[in-house]
């Protein structure tokens, strides 16, 4: 396999990831609206711990954990803006 083929595979995966992130952030906003309406705080420590614990199951767990920490931070920021 050559580098261009591998890069094409990465590009396709990146497109999928971006679409999934867009869907995730849309749902995050919906959850944020519910939290706001029901007067819940944005932070849910047990939920975050659960998500980050899942990352430990993967061989690239440190990289995945860092990405998800950023993702969770951005999700909270988005909900705070609502």
Which range marks the domain in which residue 26 is found? 3-80
Residue pLDDT, tens place only, 13-25: 999 999 999 999 9
CATH for 12: 1.20.59.10
Please, are residues 50 and 56 in contact by the beta-carbon 8 Å criterion? no
Q: How many domains does one find in the chain?
A: 1
Residue pLDDT, tens place only, 39-76: 999 999 999 999 999 999 999 999 999 999 999 999 99
Q: How high is the pLDDT of residue 54?
A: 97
Please, are residues 20 and 28 in contact by the beta-carbon 8 Å criterion? no
């Amino acid at each position: 396999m050559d580098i261009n083929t591998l890069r094409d595979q990465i590009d396709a995966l990146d497109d999928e990831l971006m679409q999934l992130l867009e869907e995730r952030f849309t749902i995050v906003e919906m959850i944020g609206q519910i939290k706001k309406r029901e007067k819940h705080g944005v932070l849910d420590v047990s939920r975050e711990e659960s998500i980050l614990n899942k990352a430990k199951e993967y061989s690239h767990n440190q990289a995945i954990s860092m990405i998800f920490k950023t993702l969770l931070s951005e999700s909270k920021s988005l909900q705070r803006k609502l």
